[in-house]
Amino acid sequence: MSESRVVRVAVPTPLRRAFDYLAPTGAPLAGARVRIPFGRRETVGVVLGATTEPGVAPHKLKRISAVLDEVPLLDGQSLAFLEWAADYYHHPIGEVLQTALPVLLRQGAPATVAGLEQWSLTVAGRALAVDTWKRAPRQRRLWEALAATPGLSAGALGGLSPGWRPLLAQWAERGWARVEHGDCLSVNAGPPVASPALTASQAQAVSALVGADTYRAFLLHGITGSGKTEVYLQAIARVLAAGRQALVLVPEIGLTPQLVDRFRRRFSVPIAVLHSGLNDSERLCAWLAARAGRAPIVLGTRSAVFTPLARPGLIVVDEEHDLSYKQQDGFRYHARDLAVVRAHRDDIPIVLGSATPSLESLHNVRQGRYALLELPERPGAAALPQVHLLDLRRLPLIEGLAQPLLKHLDDRLERREQSLVFLNRRGFAPVYMCYDCRWIASCTRCDAHMTLHRDVRVSREPPTGRQTPHAASRERPPRHTALLCHHCGAEQRVPARCPACASERLEGIGEGTQRVEAVLARHFPRARIVRIDRDSTRRKGALQGQLERIQAGEADILVGTQMLSKGHDFPNVTLVAVLNADQGLYSSDFRSPEHLFQQILQVGGRAGRAERPGEVMIQTFYPDHALFMALIDHDYHAFAEHALAERRDAGYPPFGYLALLRAEAPATSAALAFLGHAHRLAQPLMPERGVQLMDPVASPMERRAGRYRAQLLVQASQRGALHEFIRKWLSVLDTDPAAKRVRWSLDIDPVMLF
Ligand SMILES: [Zn+2]
Ligand SMILES: [Zn+2]
């Protein structure tokens, strides 16, 4: 047995290591998938490479059962990038690969796209009368769904009706339907839309981007409405002309249908769109098309950063400040940061775009690591909105709205212009309280108040399984209001009497989007109000429909959460009201002012596109706060200057480096006790300087979903020292018996400190 036949395999397991196996002759190359025995089961792993120093005695090595890829699934470049990511985030390589690969590949399916079906109605099928389905509601549903689209995938049909296949086979026989085994890529059928003329600063940005053909990082800081997307599009056109591929990352595709649409209409090349709405075969198909170079443009959310490209030419990260680029559980990577690393390794340019860049990226500009491209004006001379503060110390609130705001909303209605009312709180009221004894409805599983909701879906499943079969079978009337926990999803009935004092004087306190919608409807009975939040857009296609209504001018007032601040253009909105701006001013998280500023600037930027100037009104109890002063001047740099100085003084990122050890357990003190133990274990491993260990503390919301949580912050002045310490610390923690009694995780470069 020659040594070269031992290979290191990444196995999907939480263990922070790879495993050695004996490979058959003609050993699989690095990057190929193999089926292997692991413990008592068989699983699919990825070969990382040959090893000459197996970690176990030769006679104990197990054999690979089957080699699944003749040609390696991942090339050396992709594999090395994933290994780098696993190393940087101190996360098991097996789980990193799980994140990077489409689910079918993880399960061992062949790396081909056979079987991707697309069903559509024939002309005869479309001509059928609705009456055909009078007694067949299931068939009618399928027919209507197919009639409404050019075609549906097997996955989509399965979602509509599990027994669709024999039905459609019948229809195909009758000549009503047909199936194509096509491709997952969307191609623009019509002629591509011509590029508009660029402003001087757009042209400058484009020429800087296309002038770089090796690694260079750019920060494209363009105020809202300044045309960042046009810069991406024109830079991408040049990349495509050179026969290379562009990878475009966006925060959430569901929230940015307009952006995807613009890409589709501009280019007549296949575009692979990777998002959470894809079924498994569509995802596999898009992934393979990107890898083979058949998709010149790959557009996707966070995890698309791992998509292999045959001929990478450019990476775009749109809205680079957006928090959704950071994965908050499992493999806690930051897609923007990884995109920069990837561009560097692939030696291609990358552009990070935002109207409100992260302080980290601004700092990188100051350090000379990123080149700054600025779009300081809006095309067509559209003016920036004027910002006004409504001083709530002097202005009484009428059900959450200040009088001058109501007056301005009225003016807009009069002038047939749209208004947007923003508050980052869904539901009807954030607190449900008894007026007599001050009892407040709380979640039984979290340290949190329950939120009063109206229009709760009747089909909602009860969250607890405590119902007896008898109770479950009893018909219940549809529920219209309920108390929901926004942290664990628990649902309670709204008590008619106070559980503490039996009083009936119970009421929802404060405002959520539903209440604001109701208040506005009362004040302006003739206004057409559209509410956009997680509840109103839960149904597939609902958001798209609402956005279309708004665009078509079928809405007067938009009420919503931060979903409204993401990417959509509302050219007819001339007034933006921000209701609960103060929430982020004095939070325990050092990043909250940054997020607040970004959010207000983003949502405010939705106003006054086109030729009509917009206005932003912010309700606040702190009108003198420096953050609001900078907002009035639209001075992002002044704000950033101030915020960066504070971060420097505190040694926080980007001037220092953080890691957060989190723990949770069902018993009150177990998590905290474990972190205390971890703190002691760390002492002998600490470098002399550069790394600081804070005391373990209970998390700001200690109890969540019935588990008690605690955290321990590690702060360092040098990245290298931090990672060296973490490596040693983890090797001790991973083998410590106490670590098996709680659930714990390590977050490198955390973006939220709770
Ligand atoms: Zn009471
Ligand atoms: Zn809860």
Q: What is the pLDDT of residues 379-389, one digit of tens each?
A: 765 677 889 99
Tens digit of pLDDT for each residue in 150-179? 778 777 787 788 788 888 888 988 889 887
Position 362 pLDDT exceeds 70 = yes
**Is a pLDDT exceeding 60 seen at residue 474?**
no
**Cis peptide upstream of residue 654 (ω within 30 degrees of 0):** yes
Residue 152 burial by Cβ neighbours in a 10 Å radius (0-12, 13-18, 19+): buried
Reported pTM = 0.86
Question: How far apart, in whole angstroms, are the C-alpha atoms of residue 312 and residue 349?
Answer: 10
For CA atoms 525, 527, 530, 533, give the dihedral sign: negative
Contact 559, 517 (CB under 8 A): yes
Say yes or no to pLDDT of 615 above 80: yes
What is the length of the chain?
754
Q: Is the dihedral of CA 262, 265, 271, 277 positive or negative?
A: positive
In terms of Cα–Cα distance, which of 373, 392, 329, 313 is closest to 620? 392
Which range among 477-486, 493-502, 564-573 has the greatest average pLDDT?
A: 493-502
Question: Residue 310's pLDDT band (boundaries 50, 70, 90)?
Answer: very high
Give the relative orientation of helices 542-551 and 257-266 as an angle to the nearest 10 degrees: 80
Of the candidates 245, 349, 232, 254, which has an alpha carbon nearest to the alpha carbon of residue 295?
A: 245
Report whether pLDDT(355) > 60: yes
- pLDDT tens-digit profile of 327-338? 999 999 999 999
Kindly indicate the confidence band of residue 195, based on its pLDDT and cuts at 50, 70 and 90.
confident
Per cent of the chain over pLDDT 90 is 63
C-alpha–C-alpha distance, residues 722 and 733, integer Å: 16
Residues with CB under 5 A from ligand 1 (ion): 434, 436-437, 439, 498, 500-501, 503
For residues 35-58, give the mean pLDDT.
90
Spell out the alpha helix ranges (H) of 658-703: 670-682
3-state secondary structure of 181: strand
504 alpha carbon – ligand 1 mean position (Å) = 8
Q: Are 568 and 547 in contact (CB under 8 A)?
A: yes
- Estimate to the nearest angstrom the gap between the alpha carbon of 659 and the chain centroid: 21
Q: Measure 416 CA to ligand 2 centroid, in angstroms.
A: 42
State yes or no: pLDDT of 89 exceeds 50. yes
User: What is the β-pairing status of strands 245-249 and 152-153?
Assistant: unpaired
- Ligand in closest contact with the CA of 490: 2
Residues 512-539: tens digit of each pLDDT = 999 999 999 999 999 999 999 999 988 8
Question: 3-state DSSP call for residue 587?
Answer: coil
Type of residue found at 167: L
CA 284 to chain centre: 20
Q: Determine the distance separating the centroid of ligand 2 and the alpha carbon of 484, expressed in angstroms.
A: 8
208-266 pLDDT per residue, tens? 999 998 999 999 999 888 899 999 999 999 999 999 999 999 998 776 667 778 888 89
- The model's pLDDT over 282-303, given as tens digits with 9 standing for 90+, comes to 899 899 999 999 899 999 999 9
Report the alpha-carbon distance of residue 38 to residue 10 in Å, rounded.
11
Rounded to the nearest angstrom, the distance between the alpha carbon of 700 and the centre of ligand 2 is 14
The pLDDT mean for the chain works out to 89
Nearest C-alpha neighbor of 449 from the set 422, 478, 425: 425
The predicted-structure confidence for 682-738, as pLDDT tens digits, reads as follows 999 999 889 999 999 999 899 999 999 999 999 999 999 999 999 999 999 999 999
Centre of ligand 2 from the C-alpha of residue 487, in Å: 5
Ligand closest to 488 (CA) is: 2
